[in-house]
Structure 1
Amino acid sequence: MSGRLQRRHHIGQTVIPYTIDWSENRETMSLSIDDSLELTVTAPMTATVDDVEEVLESRHDWLLEKLYGLKEQEGPPYPKEYLTGEKLQYRGRQYPLEVIEADVDQPELAFDDQTFTLRVHRLDAEADDISIRRKRQAVVDWYINRAKEELPKRAVRFESRLGLENVPVEVGEIDGRWGEFADGTVWLNWRIVQAPVRIQNYVIAHEMAHAVHNEHSDSFWNTVGALIPDYEDRREWLRVNGNTLAV
């Protein structure tokens, strides 16, 4: 006799709903994700919930890749050294980087809508490992600050369309996901500020929809579709191009 049980698996702060489908015809466990991103674990009758959780623990990278298209993506084809002539991505466009020596203790990044300018101490001008890390941190800090300034403002329009008010929106480092909804708060990965605005809006709308629907149900995707009619195309863009949103 077969049976089904709905559960939730945690990867850090990430919550992944899934269904256990016990079957007399199974001798081993299998994981499957359908087009609506619903995770099902088909298990033999002898398997316990702890057995299922153990298998999920061993498949974290696979789960995050399949569900969110982020964890297993490779980085850019070559590592940045943050030298003049390289480019930085912002809102879907590549802009040139100019590095200049200045009277600063720490590298500082600025942007004038055409060029990124990285002001560095003379000792940071070369591409040694320590200088690269210091310059990279300045770039990351700029992206985080810009994401904190821009993304929450655009979440407001989706909030009103969902009949919600005052949903907190936070920006920061999220391991393995572009965004998540947890404890009543929308969390957004700062890296999406590098993506085209239409892609940023999809991630924001996706997470705002979780304020109404916890799981990736048909109702959830219908809600996302009402906010972003071409959400499938935007989700596919992330799957294919998410590896370019690296610093």
Structure 2
Amino acid sequence: MKRQYHIGQTVVPYEIDWSANRETIGLSVDTSMELTVTAPMSATHDDVEAALDEKQPWILETIYGLGEQADPPLDKEFLSGEKLLYRGRQYHLKVQEDDVSEPTLSFDGNRFTLHVHRFDKPDDDVSIRRKRQAVVDWYIERAKSELGERVEAHASKLDATAVTVDVVDLDNRWGEYQAGTVRLHWRLILAPVRIQDYVVVHELAHKNHDEHSAGFWNAVGSVLPDYKDRRRWLRLNGNTLTV
């Protein structure tokens, strides 16, 4: 059932997702600016309201930040001359006919080349989907390698060694930590490395801090003193990290 939480004149719609696997109350906000509260079955509505009261600054900051977000880029057709985003930089794309059964993407450090079959016509919807999948597959493979390296680079700083890394599609989240595993969205590979590091450090800090407490943010800040700037960049520009 949809509920409303009032912060002054601001009305925040929210739903409660009761979970038998949850021990604490967590909050998330999607791109429609609706709030989801994930709560254990033992929690009461008063517990939920108390959690919302405690997180008022975060709720306001997140919602107003979403309203300031940059518009997502237009859909690509994967034609020569377009640009692909990688680690925060735009690189030109060249589409080249080759003896391949499926489109494949390569990168030489300066330019992307999309190798396609001659039957992959530029204006054909099926061909566009095939080319997009080739690009996504390349990003995912790079993300598995490079994001794992970012976790390895920071884990010991947060006493979070022996964690595993899983690169997946996380819907409206960039990362999460669960039971010794850091799960990261593959689209982070599109972001500047400093932003990748923010998400990595954020999730690693959850190994020793379940909630976004003062101790949690002190741990993040001990590794990334400018984490607030990185967090704001991601909130404002996350919509642009798309294929």
Summarize deviations over 1:160-185 as a string: whole Å, max 9, x none: 11223211111111111011112221
Q: 1:218 to 1:245 in 2, by over 3 A?
A: same
Question: For each residue in 1:33-91, what CA deviation from the matched residue of structure 2 results, as whole angstroms up to 9, or x when unmatched?
Answer: 434x3x6xxxxxxxxxxxxxxxxxxxxxx9xx649969x98531x21000000000011
Equivalent position of 1:97 in the other structure: 93
Distance 1:211 1:15 in 2: 21
Cα deviations across residues 177-202 of structure 1 (Å, max 9, x unaligned)?
A: 01111222100001011111100000
Q: Distance in 1 between matches of 2:176 and 2:50?
A: 28
Is the contact between residue 17 and residue 215 of structure 1 (CA under 8 Å) also seen in structure 2? no
Q: How does 1:4-19 map to 2 (within 5 A)?
A: 7-9=24-26
Alpha-carbon spacing, 1:190–1:68, altered in 2? closer, same or farther (3 Å): farther
Q: Does 1:246 align with 2:242?
A: yes
Q: Could you say which residue in structure 2 is the equivalent of 1:75?
A: 72
Structure 2 residue 131 is matched with structure 1 residue 135 = yes
5+ residue gaps, structure 1, are 1-5, 40-61
Displacement of 1:159 in angstroms is 1.1
Seen in structure 2, the aligned counterparts of structure 1 residues 8 and 67 have a Cα distance that, compared at 3 Å, is farther
Distance 1:9 1:198 in 2: 26
Task: Give the structure-2-normalised TM-score.
Answer: 0.76
**What is the match of residue 56 of structure 2?**
34
Q: CA RMSD in A?
A: 3.4
Q: 2:233 aligns with which of 225, 237, 243?
A: 237
CA distance in 1, matches of 2:50, 2:202: 30
| Count of residues in correspondence between the two structures | 209
Taking the aligned partners of 2:85 and 2:206, their CA distance within structure 1 comes to 28
Percent of residue pairs bearing the same amino acid type: 51
Amino acid at match of 2:56: D
Distance in 1 (CA, whole Å) between partners of 2:64 and 2:215 is 18
Q: SS at 2:113's partner residue?
A: strand
